[in-house]
Amino acid sequence: MTNTYPGLPKTIKLGIHTVTIKVTDPHDDRQRRLDNAYGVSDWDGLTILLESGLQLSFARQVLLHEIMHMIRFANSPLPIGVANPKSWKFHDWEHYFINLWDGQILSVLKDNLELKKFLLPDSNTEETPTPKKRKTS
């Protein structure tokens, strides 16, 4: 499928990994139809699937969401020494995820200039996207 998002990089660097970004038609992609999602992160395949035809601002948000999934996959699921995460309170989980993502997101943006330009375009050149109507079933 042709990339429908100007400036979207084909790959990004995530630590030592190279992650491929593919724009796909949701009707051709069984996994995405089953997940009913606009994007999917495949850690085993080091691939992010992004639905075609979304508003550009929404595509950026979905891509960042999927990158955050990949960051979590790249790190251990729980901090070392956590015996019973079920006993954690909201505050504990909130800080766990903030600590997991803050430095990693900055690193991903630093290491991927093309991605940074796509996610954070110059507001003077930003186009006004046409809203996409989605069929409901």
Domain-located, residue 130: no
Q: Residue 26 maps to which CATH number?
A: 1.10.10
Domain-located, residue 100: yes
Q: Is the pTM of this model over 0.85?
A: no
Domain-located, residue 6: no
Could you tell me which of 112, 121, 106, 130 has the C-alpha nearest to residue 19? Answer: 112
Could you tell me which of 9, 14, 41, 44 has the C-alpha nearest to residue 104? Answer: 14
Q: How many domains does the chain have?
A: 1
- Please give the chain's pLDDT, 137 residues, in tens: 556 899 999 999 998 899 999 999 877 766 565 567 899 999 899 999 999 999 999 999 999 999 988 888 887 665 555 666 677 787 778 778 887 888 889 899 999 999 999 999 876 555 555 555 555 44
Quick one: pLDDT at residue 136? 46
Domain-located, residue 101: yes
